[in-house]
Structure 1
Amino acid sequence: MPATAAEMLKKTRSELAPDSNVNPWVPLVAGGRASPGTLAVLALGQHRVIPADRRAFLHLAQRATEEPAAAGFFAALAEGEELAAARLGAFAEACAVDEERMRAYEPLPGCQAYLSWLALNAGPTDAVLAVTANFATWGTYCASIAQGLRTH
């Protein structure tokens, strides 16, 4: 059993985080080989995922009343989703995605299920660990995508 929080987090990441090399789409963007249509799908998906994730984080923060550190963690993540939402419009515009197309978009099945499930079913501490493990990979994806978009 890990002795420190840092050791527990490291163990959780190694056991739960998705393999960052499994997603074939990220290297396409990073290498400048993704089509504009593919980038538009990212903007469209994020248009639905960001508000759903914000609601899930707020729900988790509300449920964590007896764990103030967890409540603060989820509240901060909800604020991060607000920042992402504020910046999404410029990305969508650059991808030639207009409001009509955003309203008509049907998200891919499962894109919102993970965090929503945690918000409804996981205990706050378990949710902190699961989100942290997942964000380790998601953050790597975002960094690669951002660099690829800036470069190409």
Structure 2
Amino acid sequence: MYDEDVTDLIASAREQVAGPVAGNRFLDLLEAGLLPEERLGTLAGELYRLVRSDLRSCALLASRFPSPPAGGLFLSMAQGEGEALRLLLDFAAALGMDEKRLAAHEPSPLAQAYPAYLTQTALHGTQSDMALALLANAGESGRHYARAADALRSRCGFSDVSVGHFLYFADTPQELLDQAAAVLREGLARGDDPTEALRTARMVHGYEALFWSSLTEGID
């Protein structure tokens, strides 16, 4: 597939996931100072399971597609999830939660649908599926995490260290996005299905939105 075709596919994926803006009620409540305090503990517990699962999914992708550029991308993503997990423990500590309490959190099926879908993609998808999902969704996902970090500091008094997890995901390095574009280009050239890759990008977007909305269940 020619470079211009790959560029058009990335643009199409980003346009499709943008769609009508549904909002993020969890972040709206957090920014307004209306989020029940215990929901921050819920956020930490759900993220603990999500990040641990995503780490394993990225490691699986690296083992399925070890050759460059895919192997380098997925290994970097797995290492990034490991760093995000370390930083999440700082957020949990600010809430008075240790790793034992995080592990004991009873997860919500709706919240964990997102990492479950990523695991399914890591097991059965192509390298292009995950690469396009990253390229399509990194921008919006980063904005959600940036909003969370800002609100936690301004509304809840958290330190920069304690919101490091959210700051880490707020800005995806351009180098990683360039790697993902190279992985997508190679995968499509080898016969990966662009329609399926687009479908994966949309599904990842929908499941991430479901993760955030699940955190407000039961709040009037």
Note whether the superposition's TM-score is higher than 0.5: yes
Look up the equivalent residue of 2:140 and give its one-letter code. T
Residue 96 of structure 1 deviates from its aligned partner by 2.5
In structure 1, list runs of 5 or more residues that go unmatched. none
**Do the aligned residues in 1 keep the contact of 2:45 with 2:103 (CA within 8 Å)?**
no
Deviation by residue 1:100-127 (Cα, 9 ceiling, x = unmatched): 4323212211142121111011100122
**Gap change, CA 1:2 and 1:34, over 3 Å in 2:** farther
Distance 1:89 1:44 in 2: 10
**Do the aligned residues in 2 keep the contact of 1:65 with 1:71 (CA within 8 Å)?**
yes
Selected match of 1:139 from 142, 147, 157: 142
Distance 2:19 2:89 in 1: 28
**Gap change, CA 1:18 and 1:149, over 3 Å in 2:** farther
Q: Please provide the CA RMSD for this pair.
A: 2.3
> Which stretch of structure 1 is more off in the superposition, 89-98 or 10-19?
10-19
Q: Comparing both chains, which one has the higher relative contact order based on Cα–Cα distances under 8 Å and sequence gaps of 6 or more?
A: 1
Selected match of 1:113 from 100, 104, 116: 116
**Gap change, CA 1:111 and 1:11, over 3 Å in 2:** closer
Partner of 1:48: 49
Look up the equivalent residue of 1:37 and give its one-letter code. E
Partner of 2:126: 123
The runs of at least 4 consecutive aligned structure 1 residues that moved more than 4 Å come to 17-20
Distance 1:32 1:134 in 2: 27
**Do the aligned residues in 2 keep the contact of 1:64 with 1:124 (CA within 8 Å)?**
yes
Q: Structure 1 length normalisation: TM-score?
A: 0.85
Distance 1:76 1:142 in 2: 20
Partner of 2:213: none
Distance 1:48 1:69 in 2: 28
Look up the equivalent residue of 1:95 and give its one-letter code. L
Partner of 1:78: 78
**Do the aligned residues in 1 keep the contact of 2:89 with 2:98 (CA within 8 Å)?**
no
> Which stretch of structure 1 is more off in the superposition, 32-41 or 5-14?
5-14
**Do the aligned residues in 2 keep the contact of 1:92 with 1:98 (CA within 8 Å)?**
yes
**Gap change, CA 1:18 and 1:61, over 3 Å in 2:** farther
Corresponding residue SS for 1:96 = coil
Q: Structure 2 length normalisation: TM-score?
A: 0.61
Counting aligned pairs with the same residue, the percent is 32
Partner of 1:94: 94
**Do the aligned residues in 2 keep the contact of 1:12 with 1:129 (CA within 8 Å)?**
yes
**Gap change, CA 1:151 and 1:18, over 3 Å in 2:** farther
Corresponding residue SS for 1:3 = helix
Look up the equivalent residue of 1:103 and give its one-letter code. A
- The aligned length equals 151
